[in-house]
Amino acid sequence: MKDNQFGELAVIGMNGCGAFADQVDYYLKDWRRHGDNDRSFLIQADCPRFGSGEAKGIIHESMRGKDVYIICDTFNYGVTYKMYGMTVPMSPDDHFADLKRIIAAIEGKARRITVIMPMLYEGRQHKRSSRESLDCALMLQELVSMGVSNILTFDAHDSRICNAIPLSGFDNVRPAYQMIKALVRAVPDIQIDKDHMVIVSPDEGAMSRCMYYSSVLGLDIGMFYKRRNYSVVINGRNPIEAHEYLGQDLHGKDVIVVDDMIASGESMLDVCKQLKEKGANRVFCFSTFGLFTEGLDKFDQCAKEGVFDKVFTTNLVYRRPDLAGKPWYVEVNMCKYVAYLIDTLNNDATISTLLNPVKRIQNLMEKHRKDLSSQMKMEFGE
């Protein structure tokens, strides 16, 4: 072990995170290769199940003294198991239970445990509005009580959930740089300035995300206000009756709609339709997590109708297998960024510069403006 490393590095990819963990391991091996040493940092861990659905966690090597990073996607319903002869997709509850099993299997022998949970388990149940449970806060406290030192998540629904564990490490990472980088690659002719683009928040809850984008890109901002019917509950939520827009004129301008997640997509598509009706040129959707809980048919239809142009989501959570082939979809790969976070933390260094990518965004914008200027000169023969 190197002197500056907190402990011998060990990475565990929970069930359904194998491909993501493999890519993270690829970068870690590349950065730390010495001579012919190409040793993997991945640790084999399993959660086998009995026919009744019961399970146990097993780790196949010693964890004593290691700096352990566990990657867990609690929203991967593509993983299934057998229970009483039936094939059952794993729910968020199942994934969280397996995470606790693996932590328990470590037996307190690790020097430090960090959980990387891109989308927080029960993250939308972050505050109490009536007699109801506070599941996300309970989850964080339970992990800390089991010996977890740090929790890394991405674009938390409400970052104030960290108040549930004020004496423990909690980092909320936002993939702004990776999203913007994917946009300029997918749409090379995009002009990112006040005269050609506006950032729009689909509701009041996403304003902080949009304010960050607007400030680092130097763009104006608009927002939609969700008018809900609080007398009715459908599918666990109060239905949205209308979206009301607050902001400047959109005629002829490209729009980026920023939100933390796409669930059914109804809200996002309704916002895109209204933006087009208000004269927006092209509409791009930035969403860290693309769940698409009601399938892709609505998005296919709206893409044909020109309601939106591109949807950008990360690979931090499970994506439907047919999503990658959609012409309107762009995947934002976060594996290298997660590897950077793990590598930096294992070397017991600060991740502040990784969490605040303003300088990288500015450099990216400068390069994009130069490339765009060169392209325009070539087109006009100057």
The pLDDT-based confidence of 129 (bands split at 50, 70, 90) is: confident
pLDDT attached to residue 282: 96
pLDDT bucket at 206, cuts 50 / 70 / 90: confident
* pLDDT per position as a tens digit, 159-172: 899 999 999 999 99
Q: Report residue 360: phi and psi, to 5°.
A: -65, -40
Around Cβ 40, how many Cβ atoms within 10 Å?
13
By residue count, the chain amounts to 382
| Neighbouring residues of 48: CB distance < 8 A, sequence distance ≥ 6 | 55, 56, 58
Angle between helices 92-106 and 135-145 (to 10 degrees): 10
pLDDT band at 54 (very low <50, low <70, confident <90, very high): very high
Query: pTM for the whole thing?
Result: 0.91
Neighbours of 325 (CB within 10 A): 7
* Nearby residues of 312 by Cβ (< 8 Å), 6 or more positions away: 179, 182, 183, 186, 284, 285, 286, 287, 330, 331, 332
| 329-358: pLDDT as tens digits | 999 999 999 999 999 999 999 999 888 899
Residue 227 in this model has a pLDDT that exceeds 80: no
Residue 163 to residue 335: CA distance in whole angstroms: 28
Residue 239 has pLDDT above 90, yes or no: no
CB 283 within 8 A of CB 257: yes
Distance of CA 229 to CAs 15, 204, 254, 277, Å?
Answer: 39, 16, 31, 24
Backbone φ and ψ of 175, nearest 5° = -85, 40
pLDDT in tens, 57-79: 999 999 999 999 999 999 999 99
Mean pLDDT of the chain: 91
What pLDDT shows up at residue 372?
Answer: 84
**Residue 2 above 90 pLDDT?**
no
Q: Would you state the pLDDT for residue 119?
A: 96
Q: How far apart are CA 138 and CA 378, in angstroms?
A: 59
Is the pLDDT at 378 greater than 70? The verdict is: no
pLDDT per position as a tens digit, 23-38 = 999 999 999 876 556 7
Q: Which amino acid is at 197?
A: M
Q: In what order do the strands lie in the sheet with 283-290?
A: 240-246, 220-228, 197-201, 254-262, 283-290, 310-314, 329-332
Q: Quick one: average pLDDT of 259-276?
A: 92
Mean pLDDT of all residues in 80-106: 96
User: Confidence class of residue 98 from pLDDT cuts 50, 70 and 90?
Assistant: very high
3-state SS assignment for residue 202: coil
Q: What is the predicted pLDDT for the residue at 311?
A: 97
Give the max Cα distance, the chain.
Answer: 73
From 82-96, 139-153, 227-241, 264-278, the region with the lowest mean pLDDT: 227-241
Q: Which residues does residue 287 pair with via DSSP β-bridges, in sequence order?
A: 259
Q: Report the C-alpha gap between 280 and 271 in whole angstroms.
A: 11
pLDDT score at 359: 92
What's the pLDDT score for residue 160?
Answer: 92
Strand partners, 215: none
Q: Percent of the chain, pLDDT > 90?
A: 78
